[in-house]
């Protein structure tokens, strides 16, 4: 019977065959322990000299790391390992030998591992992080489908820039100029006017010269947009969504979280609702904490966000930022025109902003004025202005950065480990 490692629990005391790679190995004169992986999971194979043909035992002892083989044996419960099962090996059939595999169980520097990302992905730790990323993706679709959202795919090649023009990747579109999408938001607003509640999930590109543990050049964003929703309604969707992501990872990725050494007691507290603080109160809080370098009107840096987040156990919404540091589409607060109706969600433990969102201007005259004020090309935005021209309604939306969320839930230090092939300021390889 040919199975995969993650099916082992259904085959206890049965003889099975699994296609695997050798991740690691320990052996003595009488017994060899093979750490085997098949993509679905990792499992130990035990080869006892006295119980197999001499040829098989010698093969097990001499096999090199990342050699691929079919292994045959009996699945047994193994209460000492977190996985819970191991194989008493009877037969080994080598498929392809691997010699001098560059990533050995010893410590390697980050740049070396990043240069070998195509192989590094096979490691135990990277496997656990990608499984959690996959669970967040799965849970995202479950949440928005359950809540009645329709998935809409905005274009990647665009002629307009929702978040400002400084960080756009330029390309030629035959004779025209085009940009890689930095956010699908404006298209999602059009979709919300057609379908009510929509969400997108796609790659976005930022030509940002930032070299921090939170910045990627190419990252994936989930962008919901809701017609007839005000900011407070949108915040409720956000906290329920994020709490659902945390719960899904806790429920379905216990083994992976353990492999990563993630403290799950802190994650178990991430239950909606989340606290809210205005930008203005956040500035006061920072001053109280001894930050003299921040003045009202300036954007927060990573140390500021971390200090604010440290005052709360759960993720915190910072609301009502100054108008001057936010994009053109955010409406003024009718009670205070110096600030806009927006919120960023800051994750705990220094992981920073995981969501940016706001209400959107729906008044035609206000929008036209703002487009002028920001020096945007009215013609390029003419389709977007149509949305305010024909039956405009209050609406809100937000964008959640997948990689920052994965970093937070897995406890990864840097976002480069949270995407299969990271694009960074100085890295396009592999």
Stretch that binds ligand 4AD, among 101-109, 117-125, 241-249, 394-402 (CB under 6 A): 394-402
Cβ-based nearer residue to ligand 4AD, 84 or 327: 327
Of residues 410 through 429, those in contact with ligand 4AD by CB under 6 A are 415
User: How does strand 170-173 pair with strand 316-319?
Assistant: unpaired
Of residues 212 through 231, those in contact with ligand 4AD by CB under 6 A are 215-216, 219, 221, 223
Residue 185 found at the interface with ligand 4AD (CB under 6 A)? yes
Q: Minimum CB separation from ligand 4AD for residue 296, in Å?
A: 20
Cβ-based nearer residue to ligand 4AD, 57 or 199: 199
Distance from C-alpha of 109 to C-alpha of 249, rounded to nearest angstrom = 29
Cβ-based nearer residue to Mg ion, 154 or 399: 399
Q: Which does 208 bind (CB under 5 to 8 A by kind): Mg ion, ligand 4AD, none?
A: ligand 4AD
Task: Count residues near Mg ion (CB under 5 A).
Answer: 1
Residue 192 found at the interface with ligand 4AD (CB under 6 A)? no
Cβ-based nearer residue to Mg ion, 187 or 398: 398
- Residue 238's alpha-carbon distances to 81, 195, 244, 360, 362, in angstroms, are 37, 19, 10, 16, 21
Cβ-based nearer residue to ligand 4AD, 20 or 330: 330
Residue 354 found at the interface with ligand 4AD (CB under 6 A)? yes
Q: Minimum CB separation from Mg ion for residue 326, in Å?
A: 9
Q: Which does 355 bind (CB under 5 to 8 A by kind): Mg ion, ligand 4AD, none?
A: ligand 4AD
Stretch that binds Mg ion, among 197-205, 221-229, 350-358, 368-376 (CB under 5 A): 350-358
Stretch that binds Mg ion, among 184-192, 299-307, 352-360, 419-427 (CB under 5 A): 352-360
Stretch that binds ligand 4AD, among 57-65, 92-100, 243-251, 352-360 (CB under 6 A): 352-360
Stretch that binds Mg ion, among 94-102, 193-201, 226-234, 348-356 (CB under 5 A): 348-356
Distance from C-alpha of 279 to C-alpha of 276, rounded to nearest angstrom = 10
Vertex 315: Cα angle to 312 and 318 (nearest 5): 85
Q: Candidates 162, 315, 348, 356: give the one binding Mg ion (CB under 5 A).
A: 356
Cβ-based nearer residue to Mg ion, 72 or 234: 234
Q: Minimum CB separation from Mg ion for residue 164, in Å?
A: 11
Select from 149, 216, 147, 160 the least CA-distant residue to 424.
216
Of residues 220 through 279, those in contact with ligand 4AD by CB under 6 A are 221, 223
Select from 160, 152, 274 the least CA-distant residue to 225.
152
Residue 403 found at the interface with ligand 4AD (CB under 6 A)? yes
Cβ-based nearer residue to ligand 4AD, 162 or 315: 162
Distance from C-alpha of 262 to C-alpha of 264, rounded to nearest angstrom = 6
Distance from C-alpha of 353 to C-alpha of 27, rounded to nearest angstrom = 47
Q: Candidates 206, 259, 304, 323: give the one binding ligand 4AD (CB under 6 A).
A: 206
Cβ-based nearer residue to ligand 4AD, 71 or 342: 342
- Is residue 341 a contact partner of residue 268, using CB atoms and an 8 Å limit? no
Residue 331 found at the interface with ligand 4AD (CB under 6 A)? no
Cβ-based nearer residue to ligand 4AD, 69 or 199: 199
Residue 350 found at the interface with ligand 4AD (CB under 6 A)? no
Residues of this chain that bind Mg ion (CB under 5 A): 356
Q: Which chain residues interact with ligand 4AD by CB under 6 A? A: 162-163, 183, 185, 206, 208, 215-216, 219, 221, 223, 353-357, 397-399, 401, 403-404, 415
């Amino acid at each position: 019977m040919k199975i995969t490692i993650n099916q082992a629990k259904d085959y206890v005391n049965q003889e099975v065959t699994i296609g695997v790679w050798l991740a690691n190995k320990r052996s003595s004169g009488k017994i060899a322990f093979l750490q085997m992986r098949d993509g679905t999971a990792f499992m130990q194979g035990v080869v006892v000299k006295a119980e197999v043909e001499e040829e098989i035992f010698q093969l097990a002892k001499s096999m090199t790391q990342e050699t691929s083989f079919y292994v045959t044996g009996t699945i047994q419960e193994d209460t000492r390992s977190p996985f819970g099962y191991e194989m008493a090996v009877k037969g080994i059939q080598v498929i392809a030998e691997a010699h001098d595999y560059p990533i050995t169980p010893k410590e390697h520097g980050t740049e070396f591992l990043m240069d070998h990302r195509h192989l590094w992905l096979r490691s135990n730790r990277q496997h656990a992080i990608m499984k959690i990323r996959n669970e967040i993706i799965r849970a995202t679709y479950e949440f928005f489908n359950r809540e009645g959202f329709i998935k809409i795919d905005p274009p990647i090649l665009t002629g307009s820039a929702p978040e400002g023009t400084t960080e756009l990747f330029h390309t030629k579109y035959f004779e025209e100029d085009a940009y890689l999408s930095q956010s699908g938001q404006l298209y999602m607003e059009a979709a919300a006017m057609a379908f009510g509640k929509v969400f997108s999930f796609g790659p976005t590109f930022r030509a940002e010269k930032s070299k921090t543990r939170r910045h990627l050049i190419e990252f994936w964003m989930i962008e919901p947009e809701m017609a007839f929703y005000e900011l407070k309604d949108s915040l409720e969707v956000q906290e329920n969504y994020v709490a659902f992501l945390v719960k899904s990872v806790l429920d379905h990725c216990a083994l992976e979280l353990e492999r990563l050494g993630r403290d799950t007691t802190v994650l178990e507290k991430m239950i909606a609702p989340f606290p809210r603080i205005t930008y203005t109160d956040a500035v006061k809080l920072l001053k109280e904490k001894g930050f003299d370098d921040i003045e009202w009107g300036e954007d927060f840096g990573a140390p500021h966000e971390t200090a604010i987040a440290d005052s709360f156990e759960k993720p915190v919404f910072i609301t009502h930022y100054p108008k001057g540091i936010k994009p053109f589409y955010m409406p003024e607060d009718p009670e205070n025109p110096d600030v806009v109706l927006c919120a960023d969600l800051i994750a705990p433990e220094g992981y920073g902003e995981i969501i940016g969102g706001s209400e959107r201007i729906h008044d035609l005259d206000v929008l036209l004025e703002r487009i002028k004020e920001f020096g945007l090309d009215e013609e390029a935005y003419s389709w977007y202005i149509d949305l305010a021209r024909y039956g405009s309604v209050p609406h809100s939306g937000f964008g959640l950065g997948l990689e920052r969320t994965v970093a937070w839930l897995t406890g990864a230090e840097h976002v480069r480990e949270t995407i299969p092939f990271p694009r960074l300021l100085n890295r396009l390889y592999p």
